[in-house]
Structure 1
Amino acid sequence: MKKLVLALGLLALAACQQQTGLSPQALREAGQTYIAVLEAKEVSPSRFAEGLAALERAHGLAIPAEDRLEALGMVILRGLSPAKAERLAQDPRVYGLTPDREVWAFAQTVPWGVERVGAPTTTAKGAGVSIYILDTGIKVGHEDLTNLAGGHAVVKCRGRCRAPYDDDNGHGTHVAGTAAAVNNNVGVLGVAPAAELWAVKVLSNSGSGSISGIVQGLNWVIAHDNGGKPKVINMSLGGRGRDDQDGQYCPANRSTDAFHNAIQKAVCDHNITVVVAAGNDGADAANYVPAAYDEVLTVSATNSQDDWPSWSNYGPDVDLAAPGVSILSTWHTSTSAYNTLSGTSMASPHVAGAAALVLSLHPHSTPAQVRQTLLQNAESTASWTNTSGKPHPEPFLNVRGF
């Protein structure tokens, strides 16, 4: 279990049991968009609709359909004045109220990695599992991503796009290729080439987005009917912040922070394995979310010399190390484009693909069981030479034997 810190960093929220009040500083600095958690845990659609209608009447709200996140029991509230935000925070029907804030893609600079983790040797290939890439989209029609089944756009693609969830940046396409590029004798091979890919575009063509956009994406994944197949989410993104529940995995009293609460619902209530990048600042991952959250699998980056680069985040919140330096994968500039990038963004999809391998063998595994399987099969790094200058005791991803 990770050792987490009871603080919210940039969120500036003051938690009081199950009710959240916003500090004056948060109201001045957080902007005009908030995410309201109405239900701590999973709730029926009728109860959610009833509670939301009462809240709208009480506060004079008219919340559009796209901001009603029924699967998460949340709503996005835009254009709120500080006074109205404070009144909502004190309403007993609001479990938590979180100011929106920016997140960004964790890519460092510019795929030996699939070979290094042993993916070509596996019997399991990820068949019967859906991997959802919450990112900048996925290149529609790419020759190596013919397993792209569809998607959803919170932030719509700009320019020459074949679908709203098409990739206008490249980051999401690169991540998708590492996780699940198909085995078709062209381009590259992903860790789980038989898995199904879904693009959830939550980042813009500049690689930036918001927490409200992320929770909209999570809401779509939870509600999406994929025929009952196990789901894996990869989020090679994040922003500054800290965990608000110290060392607690799926606690009975869920987080009042909307981002954390949404991830808890995905993992704890809907059995979705969530894999995230540790971050690229050479800093303690406890200072970044979602990397710091206890319910996710957090991944650091290694190079081909079995060492960690100085920029890879570290700390007790990191679960696994995976290849993340000079990774060749699919790219968005054409349907046959490839590119080499580095970052914990590139490491995370190795683990997302590995989770799909586990679930293709054991489809009823919980996220905790997927984590345990990956850790039990991981390679010890005790004998590695660590020149990063940062503590990296985490084991290295190994899928041999799957």
Structure 2
Amino acid sequence: MRKWAIFLGLFLLAACQNAVKTPETLRPLAGEGGTYIALLKPGAAAEALARDHGLAVAAEDRLEALGMVVLRNLPPGLAQRLAQDPRVQSLTPDRPVQAYAQTVPWGVERIGAPTTQAKGGNVSVYVLDTGIKVGHEDLTNLKGGYAVVKCRGRCKAAYDDDNGHGTHVAGTIAAVNNAVGVLGVAPAAELYAVKVLSGSGSGSISGIVQGLNWVIAHNNGGKPKVVNMSLGGAGTDDQDGQYCPSVRSRDALHNAIQKAVCDHAITVVVAAGNEGDDAANHTPAAYDEAITVSATNSRDDWPSWSNYGPDVDLAAPGVGILSTWHTSTTAYNTISGTSMATPHVAGAAALVLSRYPGHTPAQVKAALLQNAESTAGWTNTSGHPHPEPFLNVRGF
């Protein structure tokens, strides 16, 4: 059964569709308080836009690296006027996001990670999730982070983990080789916690784009960057079949991922989702710019709940995965989901970039696919088509 509503795996979003300036598409989800993400036209200033409409915009809502601004508590009439402002390319209503996981326990050994010469050194991996447990014995490579949604309870930092999901993901990516606990795929990589989900695993698109904005702007000394997004929700690819098109998406989430991947060479790895559905019906899984990951079990088979379809790029271990946990600095837990498969691939991307730091996201994806294991001879009892190859890092 699913442990959370987080797919830490996918967010529960209203359908991600092109933001059209109509009353229907500008209607915010109930309870979201009239929050919108304005994608500004080139040269437009968020400060001037806010002033002209009598709005106060906090500094953290001015997403300069993305050319966006988060606008909160807008009455419907004001939202309509902003949508028609010539400086606004599109206005996307905020939508909730959640993390997925399922209860049930293996993975780094199967993909061959312990055999690699590359260990992820000089690569930064950003975990957009519920945070990462600060001070965990197996996550001494946590270098810092940023909190869109602040940790609640006994937290050592705003980006500390009050759920567990983000800590679990981080351990699979890069738990250090220190003779205790578990070993991550890329134990020499450095981790950054980007807390965009609450202790209940909920969040919003505005939080995701705020997190991506921070990742793009963050000075990590020029090292290659990888983003892990074990989250998602309902929606479709508004530019299906187009990788980094010159005319970018008008949807805020897709546009932000395109800017990260296409303009800033950040490799983005995302979960396919846990609905047993075509990944084309879920975002960011459906986006061509991301590397989308399904989940397998220790019998080289896919569970019925793992999403499928042409948008899925790779399969990776996602059932019964042991990793770090948030309840103490020495805690570990075993859970399942495409959320647990995704960090195997994010760690693998770090391995590639530690050997080839100049690789673009497209080249990273090509390297992973070229080295992947064919699943043509596997027994597939999931009830869904799963032709995607299985992650293999042997030889890296």
Task: Pick the TM interval, shorter chain.
Answer: over 0.9
- Contact 2:280 2:309 (C-alpha < 8 Å) held by counterparts: yes
CA distance in 2 between counterparts of 1:364 and 1:61 reads 42
- Contact 1:111 1:188 (C-alpha < 8 Å) held by counterparts: no
Correspondence for 1:177: 171
Which of residues 300, 312, 321 is equivalent to 1:318?
Answer: 312
1:10 pairs with 2:2: no
Which of residues 349, 352, 361 is equivalent to 2:343?
Answer: 349
Q: Which moved more, 1:248-257 or 1:58-67?
A: 58-67
CA distance in 1 between counterparts of 2:168 and 2:104 reads 11
Q: Percent identity?
A: 78
Which of residues 141, 147, 152 is equivalent to 1:147?
Answer: 141
Cα 1:28–1:366, aligned 2, differ >3 Å: closer, same or farther?
closer
Correspondence for 2:38: 36
- Contact 2:230 2:339 (C-alpha < 8 Å) held by counterparts: yes
Map 1:293-308 to 2 at 5 A.
293-308=287-302
CA distance in 1 between counterparts of 2:131 and 2:152 reads 11
- Contact 2:17 2:235 (C-alpha < 8 Å) held by counterparts: no
Correspondence for 1:75: 69
Secondary structure at the counterpart of residue 14 of structure 2: helix
Which of residues 82, 88, 92 is equivalent to 1:94?
Answer: 88
Cα 1:149–1:88, aligned 2, differ >3 Å: closer, same or farther?
same
Deviation at 1:26, TM superposition (A): 4.3
- Contact 2:39 2:68 (C-alpha < 8 Å) held by counterparts: yes
Name the amino acid aligned to 1:198.
Y
CA distance in 1 between counterparts of 2:390 and 2:182 reads 22
> Which structure dedicates a bigger proportion of its chain to helix?
1
1:12-35 Cα offsets, whole Å, 9 max, x none, are 7556xxxx4134364264650100
Cα 1:113–1:381, aligned 2, differ >3 Å: closer, same or farther?
same
Which of residues 100, 106, 114 is equivalent to 1:112?
Answer: 106
Name the amino acid aligned to 1:24.
E
Cα 1:83–1:355, aligned 2, differ >3 Å: closer, same or farther?
same
CA distance in 1 between counterparts of 2:100 and 2:324 reads 17
Correspondence for 1:384: 378
Secondary structure at the counterpart of residue 151 of structure 1: strand
Map 1:125-164 to 2 at 5 A.
125-164=119-158
- Contact 1:12 1:26 (C-alpha < 8 Å) held by counterparts: no
Which of residues 48, 54, 58 is equivalent to 1:54?
Answer: 48
1:242 pairs with 2:236: yes
CA distance in 2 between counterparts of 1:272 and 1:88 reads 31
CA distance in 1 between counterparts of 2:127 and 2:393 reads 21
- TM-score, normalising length: structure 1: 0.92
Cα 1:184–1:270, aligned 2, differ >3 Å: closer, same or farther?
same
Correspondence for 1:360: 354
- Contact 1:13 1:23 (C-alpha < 8 Å) held by counterparts: no
Deviation at 1:11, TM superposition (A): 4.0
CA distance in 1 between counterparts of 2:84 and 2:17 reads 13
Name structure 1 gaps, 5 residues minimum: 1-8, 41-46
Deviation at 1:109, TM superposition (A): 2.2
Name the amino acid aligned to 1:117.
I
Deviation at 1:74, TM superposition (A): 0.5
Name structure 2 gaps, 5 residues minimum: 1-12
- Contact 2:105 2:336 (C-alpha < 8 Å) held by counterparts: no
| Number of equivalenced pairs | 382
Deviation at 1:57, TM superposition (A): 3.3
Correspondence for 2:215: 221
CA distance in 2 between counterparts of 1:263 and 1:162 reads 30
Name the amino acid aligned to 1:113.
G
- Contact 1:111 1:329 (C-alpha < 8 Å) held by counterparts: no
Name the amino acid aligned to 1:219.
N
Name the amino acid aligned to 1:27.
R
Secondary structure at the counterpart of residue 262 of structure 2: helix
RMSD after superposition? 1.5
Deviation at 1:98, TM superposition (A): 0.6
Correspondence for 2:324: 330
Deviation at 1:96, TM superposition (A): 1.5
Which of residues 249, 258, 280 is equivalent to 1:255?
Answer: 249
Correspondence for 1:339: 333
Deviation at 1:85, TM superposition (A): 1.1
Secondary structure at the counterpart of residue 27 of structure 2: helix
- Contact 1:149 1:197 (C-alpha < 8 Å) held by counterparts: yes
CA distance in 2 between counterparts of 1:151 and 1:249 reads 29
CA distance in 2 between counterparts of 1:397 and 1:388 reads 18
- TM-score, normalising length: structure 2: 0.94
- Contact 1:13 1:26 (C-alpha < 8 Å) held by counterparts: no
Deviation at 1:95, TM superposition (A): 1.3
CA distance in 2 between counterparts of 1:27 and 1:11 reads 12
1:200-232 Cα offsets, whole Å, 9 max, x none, are 011000011111111110011000000000000
